[in-house]
Structure 1
């Protein structure tokens, strides 16, 4: 019974968040343009140094992006290589920034297994960033396993969104 109530609550939270996010998406470009001080009607071109460091995708602090993983893997491959390179470029251009790498998993597997897999994913990203010139002392890791799902569906698209590392700026 408790599981059913929890599932209903989680579904309501996801629906509410979906409404909030979809209702606010049209205002962001206008806000960026005003913050940058661009002239009316002119295009806005920003470097990574001047971009807002709010949440951009997943729980990652912008302008960094999360890195996604294949099922049961902690290897950074394919298009995810460019995503971690984007994060390395930002960090190398902003030497005062410290980041917490948060390893996440989809809900399949045991809690213990997913915590270990999330840790391997976070450590993999940390190792990759250090090979790209980011100082290891600026990077910390934590595993949330399956505890901080973004999507609560039980399909491959939902699972894929939850298999990720988030990069959160620590102030």
Structure 2
């Protein structure tokens, strides 16, 4: 009988702690925590938000396809914010020589600059630099990595 009393007593004690813990969990929830990430000013690649990088085909410096809309988005942002200047950073994937990739990165940056100027952004607000293959985002040796590294980043400098 004492054994039965002990088992029942331990069982009740265990249950009360569980419900107490469960109640504490719901009471502690209180204020809902936001799932949104803080705005760091950076969205994709090394591009300052809300602008977006522009990606290029292999061995190309021509803005084509859906990249046209991306550069138009950047132009709209720059036209709405006339006090902002940016640096256009040309990047390449690691294939090709260092010299070739620096030249291709420069052509990519100049291509984006010309496109923005044609869309009405003043040229004196835009500078360019080529990093070639020096600032990779992805270090894989596959097409996804290469495609992410063939880009222009748009970085706010002022």
Could you tell me which residue of structure 1 aligns to residue 44 of structure 2?
57
Q: How many residues align?
A: 124
The corresponding residue for 2:56 is 69
Q: Cα RMSD (Å) of the superposition?
A: 1.0
Asked if 2 retains the 8 angstrom alpha-carbon contact of 1:105 and 1:117, the reply is yes
Q: Secondary structure at the match of 1:161?
A: helix
* Aligned structure 1 segments of 4 or more residues deviating by more than 3 angstroms: none
Structure 1: how far apart are the matches of 2:120 and 2:58?
Answer: 28
Return the match for 1:80 from 58, 63, 67.
67
Q: Distance in 1 between matches of 2:126 and 2:54?
A: 15
Report the Cα offset of residue 27 of structure 1. Answer: 3.6
- Comparing 52-61 with 92-101, greater Cα deviation is found at 52-61
TM-score normalized by the length of structure 1: 0.71
Q: Deviations 1:4-36 (Å, cap 9, x if unpaired)?
A: xxxxxxxxxxxxxxxxxxxxxx441xx4xxxxx
Cα separation, 1, equivalents of 2:42 and 2:133: 20
Question: 2:99 corresponds to which residue?
Answer: 112
Instruction: Work out which of the residue numbers 103, 116, 140 in structure 2 matches 1:153.
Output: 140
Question: Which residue pairs with 2:115 in the alignment?
Answer: 128
Distance 2:47 2:56 in 1: 15
Secondary structure of the equivalent of 1:125?
Answer: helix
Provide structure 2 residue ranges, at least 5 long, that are not aligned to the other structure: 1-34
Q: Determine the C-alpha separation between the residues in 2 that align with 1:53 and 1:94.
A: 18
Q: Deviations over 1:112-134 (max 9, x none)?
A: 00000000000000000000000
CA distance in 2, matches of 1:167, 1:159: 19
The TM-score, its normalising length taken from structure 2, stands at 0.77
Structure number with greater Rg is: 2
Give the match for residue 139 of structure 1.
126
User: Contact 1:53–1:63 (CA<8 Å) still a contact in 2?
Assistant: no
* Structure 1, unpaired ranges of 5+: 1-25, 32-51
- Taking the aligned partners of 1:89 and 1:114, their CA distance within structure 2 comes to 29
